[in-house]
Structure 1
């Protein structure tokens, strides 16, 4: 399971951003605090994790390394592919997927 710091670094790199650009975009003035988040010696509070998630357009669960799915679109595609491969004659998988989607990706 990837840690918050690994996810943060990956998202920053995949968006071709510097540490300074991320900090400025999120109004994080303390350079050493941000650096500690990236090197894994500290984890931000929940509010800041949500700010990062919104900035990178991913779920907070992804930021924390709890979910392997970055956002709701990936979640739905994963479910649809699973239903296509395995079927869902009674609709139970679809119903479960909608419940999980609502829990993780809606406010």
Structure 2
């Protein structure tokens, strides 16, 4: 399980942002932000939610509890798990995934 600091660093890098850009966007002191990134401190719940909103991920992802970044990834994961079932639900899931892929991966 990744720690908060590991997720924070990963999200910052994947968004091509510097420490300064993130902390200034969220109005944090440099020393405070650095402690979060180096893992010596974990922010309070309210701040975790601020980070989650900023990076468009769930607070559970920020904390390393979930491997799914957000609700959309969760929904896709569920659909992919039932897509292979030979049931009406499996057929509906397959159709929903095909439509999603047409719209968002074109």
TM-score using structure 1 length = 0.79
Q: Classify 1:90/1:33 alpha carbon distance in 2 versus 1 (closer, same or farther; 3 Å).
A: same
Task: Compare relative contact order (CA 8 Å, sep 6+) and give the higher one, 1 or 2.
Answer: 1
Equivalent residue, structure 2, for 1:67: 66
Give the whole-Å Cα distance in 1 for the aligned partners of 2:89 and 2:79: 15
Say whether the 8 Å CA contact 2:52–2:62 is kept in structure 1. yes
Equivalent residue, structure 2, for 1:33: 32
Give the whole-Å Cα distance in 2 for the aligned partners of 1:9 and 1:60: 15
Equivalent residue, structure 2, for 1:49: 48
TM-score using structure 2 length = 0.80
Q: Which runs of 5+ in 2 are unaligned?
A: 94-106
1:11 equivalent to 2:27? Answer no
Q: Deviations over 1:16-67 (max 9, x none)?
A: 0000000111011x21111010011100000000000000000000000011
For the aligned residue pairs, the C-alpha RMSD in angstroms reads 1.8
How many residues were matched structurally? 91
